[in-house]
C-alpha cells in the first residue's frame, strides 16, 4: 500500500524521516495545497572511471603547460625596463 504524499512542510520539518522513506520506497510525491508539485527519486551516482594520479604524467603535463615558445622579452626583463624608465 502506497503511503500518502508528503507536503512541502513535512519535507522541510521532517527531512530525516522523509529521507528514510525515500530510500525505502524509491520515490516520493511532494504536494502543496493538496496538489502534487514534485516527485523525489533516489539518486544513484554513475561511477566514473578516473585514471590513477601519476607524478610522471603530471610533470609531463606541467612541462607542456608552462612551455615558453615566445621570442619576446621575459616578464623580468619587462619589469626591469619599466623600473629603469
- Owning domain of residue 12: 6-41
1: in domain = no
51: in domain = no
13: in domain = yes
71: in domain = no
Residue 80 grid coordinates: 626591469
Which pTM value belongs to this model? 0.49
16: in domain = yes
Provide the number of structural domains found in the chain.
1
23: in domain = yes
Q: How confident is the model at residue 85 (pLDDT cuts 50, 70, 90)?
A: confident
Q: How confident is the model over 15-66, as pLDDT tens digits?
A: 999 999 999 999 999 999 999 999 999 998 888 888 899 999 999 988 888 8
The helix or strand, by DSSP H or E, that contains position 55, with its residue range, turns out to be helix 55-65
Strands (E), the chain: 6-7, 27-32, 35-41
31: in domain = yes
In 3-state terms, what secondary structure has residue 40? strand
Amino acid at each position: 500500500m502506497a503511503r500518502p504524499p508528503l507536503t512541502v512542510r513535512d519535507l522541510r520539518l521532517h527531512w530525516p524521516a522523509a529521507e528514510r522513506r525515500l530510500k525505502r520506497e524509491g520515490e516520493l510525491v511532494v504536494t502543496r495545497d493538496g496538489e502534487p508539485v514534485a516527485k523525489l527519486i533516489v539518486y544513484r551516482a554513475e561511477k566514473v572511471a578516473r585514471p590513477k594520479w601519476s607524478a610522471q604524467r603530471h610533470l609531463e603535463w606541467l612541462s607542456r603547460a608552462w612551455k615558453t615558445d615566445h621570442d619576446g622579452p621575459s616578464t623580468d626583463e619587462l619589469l626591469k625596463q619599466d623600473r629603469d624608465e
